[in-house]
C-alpha cells in the first residue's frame, strides 16, 4: 500500500522500453537537426544557430536548461522537507526576466558578440576576459558534474540502473548531438525534453490526487503539516529561506545566471531579432512559474502520502534526493511505462542541462581562447575544432561527476556554486555598464576581492553546515509505517542523529554567523564587495581618464525604455563615428539590403536633427 513504508515495485520491461524510447527519440531530434543543417558549416551556425532562432523554442530551451535532473528530483524534496517558501522564487524569476531583458539583451545585441566575456575585454582588458572565462568554465564543469551525478545516484538506488553506466551513457548521448548538430540541435531537443519533464510531474500529481482523494486533501494535509507557511518576513540573513533571502538574494542569483551566464545568453542572442530575444525571456519566465509550481505540488503530494511514514527515517531510501523516485515506484509501479516516463523526465532534465553546458563551454573556449590565439583559422578548421571540443568537454563533465559526490544537499549546493562565482562576475559587469569612472585596475581588484569573499563563506558553509534552527527542516512521522524493524529511538523529528553528529564537531566562532549566511546571499555579497572595491580602487588609481571607453559599452536611456530601438541622438553619435556602426539596432545579423535600408533611415534621422 502506498505510503506504508513497504517494498515498492521494480522497473518493468515496459518501463525500460518507454525510458529508452523517449531518450533515443530526444537524441534523434538532435541528429535530425544535424542532418538538416549539414550544409551550414560555419562556426556561427554551430554556436548560435545562424542567429535565426525564434522566441518560443528558445524560451522552452531556456526553461529546460534550468530544469536539470537536480531540479526534477530536488525541488519536490525541498517542498516535502521544508514546505513551500521555495515557491517565492516566482517573484525572483519575474525580477530576473525584466532585469535581463531590458538591460543585458540590448547591450549584447548592440555589440553582436558570441561569448559574453568578449564584453570584458572591450570594457576592461584581455586579462579580465581570460579570468572571467576561466571562472565560467570551472563553475560550469563542476555544476554539470553535479547535474549528471545526482539523478544517476538517486535513480540507481530505486531502479537498479548501473550508476556509472548511466553516467557515461548520458555524456555520450549529449556529446553525439552536440557535436553533430550544434546549438540548433540543443534547442530543439530541449523543446521535446521540456514536454517530457512537465509530463513526469503531472503524472505524479494526478496519480497522487487519485490516491489521496483529490487535490483538496493534499492541500489540507500540507496545511496541517506546516508545509504551507510560505511567507516569512524574518530579516535574519542567516535564515535559509525567507521572503527577503529568496526575493532579494534569489533575484540577484538568477539574474547572474540569465544575464551573463554563457549557457543562457547564448540562447537568446541566437534569436533573429532583439524583440524575439526579449520575448523569449518573458515566455521563459512563465515557463519557470509553471515548472516550480508543478515541482512544489509534486512535493506536497509526496508529503500527503508519506506524512505518517517518512521513507528516509524508515530507511526505505538512503538519501533525500531519492524520495521522489521512491514515490514514483510506489504509486506508479502498477502502471507499466509510467515509471519509465518519470525516469525519462529526470534524465531529460540532465540531458538538456549537460548539452547546454557543453555547447556553451565550446563557445567560450573557441571565442575567448582559440580565435584570438590563431586568427587565421578557416571556417572548416573551426567546425572541426567545435566538434572536437564538444567531445572533450563531454568527457570533462563526466569526470566532474565524481567530485559532485562530495556535495551535501544537491539543490542547495548547485545554487551555491552559481552564487559564489557568478555574483562577483555580475558585479564586474554592472560596474562596466553603469559606471564610466571604473577602470581595469578597479575592475580586476573588485573581481578578485568579491571572489575571495564568496569562496570563503561558501566553502565554510560546506565544511560547517548551519544549525537546524536556521535551516528549519519540518517534522515528519513514522507512526504509520508497517516495517517491524523500526528502532524505538526514532522520533517524529527525522535526521536527529545526523544533525547531532554534524553539530558535535568543534565549530569555530565564524561557523554560527558568517558561515551560516543563507546560501542565497552569496551572490549579493559577491556583487556588493566587487562593486564597492572596484569603485574605490578606480578612484584611487585615477578613474578611466587614461582609458578610452566606447559609448556603446554602457547602458543608455533608450536601452531601458525602448524595445529594440535607439534614440535619435544615439544614432547620430554612432553614425558620426562610423557610418557602418549600426549593429544592435535590431538584429546583429543583416543582409546587405537590410543594412542599406537602415543606413538610409539613420541618415534621414540625422538630417532632421
Longest dimension (CA), the chain: 88
Burial of 380 (0-12, 13-18, 19+ CB in 10 A): exposed
Q: Which residue has the higher pLDDT, 244 or 376?
A: 244
The C-alpha atoms of residue 139 and residue 425 are separated, in whole angstroms, by 12
Residues 6+ apart with CB under 8 A from 442: 431, 533, 534, 535, 536, 537, 538, 539, 541
**pLDDT surpassing 60 at residue 234:** yes
Q: What is the DSSP string of 359-383?
A: HHHHHHHIIIIIHHH-TT--HHHHH
**pLDDT surpassing 60 at residue 606:** no
- CA pseudo-torsion sign 569, 572, 577, 580: positive
Residues 6+ apart with CB under 8 A from 243: 88, 231, 232, 233
pLDDT of 19: 79
Calculate mean pLDDT across residues 476-483. 76
Residue carrying C-alpha cell 518576513: 233
Residues 6+ apart with CB under 8 A from 54: 271, 272, 276
Judge whether 439 and 538 are in contact, CB under 8 Å: yes
What band does 452 get if pLDDT is binned at 50, 70 and 90? Answer: very high
What band does 155 get if pLDDT is binned at 50, 70 and 90? Answer: low
Q: What is the pLDDT of residues 556-597, one digit of tens each?
A: 666 665 444 444 444 444 444 444 444 444 444 433 444 444
Q: What is the pLDDT of residues 482-539, one digit of tens each?
A: 754 444 433 333 322 233 334 456 777 777 788 888 888 999 999 999 999 999 999 9
Specify the DSSP class assigned to residue 554: S
- Portion of the chain with pLDDT greater than 70, in percent: 74
Q: Would you say residue 256 lies in a domain?
A: yes
* 3-state DSSP assignment of residue 38: coil
The C-alpha atoms of residue 543 and residue 320 are separated, in whole angstroms, by 51
- Structurally, the chain folds into a number of domains equal to 2
Reading the block at residue 329, the C-alpha cell is 515506484
Q: What is the dihedral of CA 497, 500, 502, 508, to 10 degrees?
A: 180
Q: Would you say residue 438 lies in a domain?
A: no
Q: Which residue has the higher pLDDT, 193 or 293?
A: 293
The C-alpha atoms of residue 277 and residue 271 are separated, in whole angstroms, by 5
The C-alpha atoms of residue 547 and residue 538 are separated, in whole angstroms, by 12
CATH of residue 211: 1.20.1730.10
The C-alpha atoms of residue 210 and residue 431 are separated, in whole angstroms, by 54
Q: Which residue has the higher pLDDT, 519 or 352?
A: 519
pLDDT of 354: 77
Residue carrying C-alpha cell 487535490: 215
User: Please, which residues bridge with residue 53 across strands?
Assistant: 271
Calculate mean pLDDT across residues 467-494. 61
pLDDT of 462: 79
**3-class SS shares of the chain: helix, strand, coil, % to 5:** 70, 0, 25
Burial 476-506 (b: 16+ CB within 10 A, else e): bbbeebeeeebeeebeeebbeeebeebeeee
6-20, 62-76, 343-357, 490-504: the lowest-pLDDT one: 490-504
pLDDT of 44: 55
Q: What is the mean pLDDT of the chain?
A: 77
Residue (of 403, 410, 409, 445) closest to 427 by Cα position: 445
The C-alpha atoms of residue 533 and residue 54 are separated, in whole angstroms, by 40
Q: Would you say residue 518 lies in a domain?
A: no
Q: Would you say residue 347 lies in a domain?
A: yes
pLDDT of 509: 76
Q: Would you say residue 465 lies in a domain?
A: no
Q: What is the DSSP string of 485-547?
A: T--TT--SSTTHHHHHHHHTS---GGGGTTTTS-GGGHHHHHHHHHHHHHHHHHHHTTTTTTS
Helices vs. strands in the chain: H and E counts, helices first: 26, 0
The C-alpha atoms of residue 181 and residue 389 are separated, in whole angstroms, by 13
Q: Which residue has the higher pLDDT, 554 or 536?
A: 536
213 sits in the region (left: phi over 0; alpha: psi -120 to 50; else beta) called: left
The C-alpha atoms of residue 197 and residue 344 are separated, in whole angstroms, by 8
Domain boundary among 407, 433, 468: 407
pLDDT of 4: 67
Reading the block at residue 103, the C-alpha cell is 538591460
pLDDT of 501: 35
* 3-state DSSP assignment of residue 10: coil
Range of the domain at 57: 13-407
Specify the DSSP class assigned to residue 219: H
CA distances to 259, 419, 455, 530 from 113, rounded to whole Å, are: 14, 24, 29, 24
Backbone torsions φ then ψ of 157, nearest 5 degrees: -70, -30
Q: What is the pLDDT of residues 105-153, one digit of tens each?
A: 888 888 888 788 889 988 898 999 999 988 888 888 887 777 777 677 6
pLDDT of 585: 42
Calculate mean pLDDT across residues 540-558. 72
pLDDT of 50: 58
pLDDT of 206: 92
pLDDT of 293: 93
What band does 46 get if pLDDT is binned at 50, 70 and 90? Answer: low
What band does 57 get if pLDDT is binned at 50, 70 and 90? Answer: confident
**pLDDT surpassing 90 at residue 328:** no
Neighbours of 15 (CB within 10 A): 25
Q: Would you say residue 467 lies in a domain?
A: no
Neighbours of 199 (CB within 10 A): 17
User: Please, which residues bridge with residue 271 across strands?
Assistant: 53
Q: Would you say residue 496 lies in a domain?
A: no
Calculate mean pLDDT across residues 197-212. 89
Judge whether 156 and 8 are in contact, CB under 8 Å: no
pLDDT of 247: 94
285-289, 320-324, 436-440, 574-578: the lowest-pLDDT one: 574-578
Judge whether 27 and 176 are in contact, CB under 8 Å: yes
Q: What is the DSSP string of 315-336?
A: TSSSSGGGHHHHHHHHHHTTST
Residue (of 139, 100, 80) closest to 454 by Cα position: 139
Domain boundary among 376, 407, 438: 407
Q: Would you say residue 58 lies in a domain?
A: yes
Q: What is the pLDDT of residues 396-432, one digit of tens each?
A: 877 777 666 655 555 566 667 777 888 999 999 999 9
**pLDDT surpassing 80 at residue 157:** no
CA angle 122, 125, 130 (to 5 degrees): 100
Domain boundary among 407, 430, 458: 407
Amino acid at each position: 500500500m502506498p505510503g506504508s513504508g513497504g517494498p515498492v515495485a521494480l522497473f518493468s520491461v515496459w518501463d525500460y522500453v518507454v525510458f529508452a524510447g523517449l531518450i533515443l527519440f530526444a537524441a534523434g531530434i538532435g541528429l535530425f537537426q544535424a542532418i538538416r543543417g549539414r550544409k551550414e558549416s560555419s562556426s556561427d551556425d554551430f554556436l548560435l544557430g545562424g542567429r535565426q532562432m525564434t522566441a518560443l523554442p528558445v524560451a522552452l530551451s531556456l526553461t529546460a536548461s534550468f530544469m536539470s535532473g537536480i531540479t526534477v528530483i530536488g525541488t519536490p524534496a525541498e517542498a516535502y522537507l521544508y514546505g513551500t517558501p521555495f515557491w517565492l522564487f516566482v517573484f525572483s524569476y519575474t525580477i530576473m526576466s525584466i532585469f535581463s531583458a531590458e538591460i543585458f539583451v540590448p547591450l549584447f545585441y548592440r555589440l553582436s558578440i558570441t561569448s559574453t566575456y568578449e564584453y570584458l575585454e572591450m570594457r576592461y582588458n584581455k586579462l579580465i576576459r581570460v579570468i572571467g572565462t576561466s571562472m565560467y568554465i570551472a563553475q560550469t564543469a563542476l555544476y554539470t558534474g553535479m547535474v549528471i551525478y545526482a539523478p544517476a545516484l538517486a535513480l540507481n538506488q530505486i531502479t537498479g540502473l548501473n550508476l556509472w553506466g548511466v553516467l557515461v551513457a548520458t555524456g555520450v548521448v549529449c556529446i553525439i548531438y552536440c557535436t553533430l548538430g550544434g546549438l540548433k540541435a540543443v534547442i530543439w531537443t530541449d523543446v521535446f525534453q521540456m514536454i517530457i519533464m512537465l509530463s513526469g510531474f503531472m503524472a505524479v500529481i494526478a496519480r497522487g490526487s487519485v490516491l489521496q482523494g483529490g487535490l483538496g486533501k493534499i492541500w489540507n494535509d500540507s496545511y496541517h503539516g506546516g508545509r504551507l507557511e510560505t511567507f516569512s518576513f524574518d530579516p535574519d540573513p542567516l535564515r535559509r529561506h525567507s521572503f527577503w533571502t529568496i526575493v532579494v538574494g534569489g533575484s540577484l542569483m538568477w539574474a547572474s545566471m540569465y544575464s551573463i551566464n554563457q549557457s543562457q545568453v547564448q540562447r537568446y542572442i541566437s534569436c533573429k531579432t532583439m524583440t524575439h530575444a526579449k520575448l523569449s525571456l518573458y515566455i521563459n519566465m512563465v515557463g519557470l512559474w509553471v515548472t516550480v509550481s508543478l515541482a512544489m505540488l509534486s512535493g506536497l503530494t509526496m508529503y500527503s502520502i508519506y506524512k505518517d511514514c517518512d521513507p528516509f527515517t524508515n530507511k526505505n531510501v538512503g538519501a533525500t534526493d531519492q524520495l521522489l523516485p521512491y514515490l514514483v515506484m510506489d504509486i506508479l509501479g502498477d502502471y507499466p511505462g509510467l515509471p519509465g516516463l518519470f525516469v525519462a523526465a529526470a534524465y531529460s532534465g540532465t540531458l538538456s542541462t549537460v548539452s547546454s553546458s557543453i555547447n556553451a563551454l565550446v563557445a567560450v573556449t573557441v571565442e575567448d581562447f582559440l580565435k584570438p590565439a590563431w586568427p587565421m583559422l578557416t571556417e572548416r578548421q573551426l567546425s572541426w575544432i567545435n566538434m572536437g571540443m564538444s567531445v572533450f568537454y563531454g568527457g570533462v563533465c563526466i569526470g566532474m561527476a565524481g567530485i559532485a559526490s562530495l556535495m551535501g544537499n544537491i539543490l542547495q549546493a548547485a545554487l551555491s556554486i552559481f552564487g559564489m562565482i557568478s555574483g562577483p562576475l555580475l558585479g564586474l559587469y554592472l560596474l562596466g555598464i553603469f559606471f564610466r569612472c571604473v577602470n581595469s585596475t578597479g575592475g580586476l581588484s573588485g573581481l578578485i576581492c568579491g571572489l575571495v569573499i564568496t569562496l570563503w563563506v561558501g566553502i565554510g558553509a560546506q565544511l560547517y553546515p548551519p544549525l537546524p534552527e536556521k535551516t528549519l527542516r519540518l517534522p515528519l512521522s513514522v507512526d504509520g509505517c508497517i516495517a517491524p524493524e523500526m528502532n524505538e529511538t526514532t522520533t517524529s523529528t527525522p535526521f536527529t542523529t545526523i544533525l547531532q553528529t554534524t553539530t558535535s564537531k568543534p565549530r569555530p566562532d565564524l561557523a554560527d554567523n558568517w558561515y551560516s549566511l543563507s546560501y542565497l546571499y552569496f551572490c549579493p555579497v559577491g556583487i556588493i564587495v566587487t562593486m564597492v572595491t572596484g569603485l574605490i580602487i578606480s578612484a584611487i588609481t585615477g578613474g578611466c581618464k587614461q582609458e578610452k571607453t566606447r559609448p556603446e559599452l554602457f547602458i543608455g536611456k533608450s536601452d531601458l525604455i525602448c524595445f529594440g530601438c535607439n534614440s535619435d541622438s544615439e544614432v547620430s553619435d554612432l553614425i558620426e563615428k562610423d557610418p557602418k556602426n549600426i549593429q544592435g539596432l535590431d538584429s546583429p545579423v543583416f543582409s546587405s539590403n537590410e543594412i542599406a535600408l537602415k543606413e538610409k533611415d539613420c541618415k534621414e534621422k540625422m538630417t532632421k536633427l
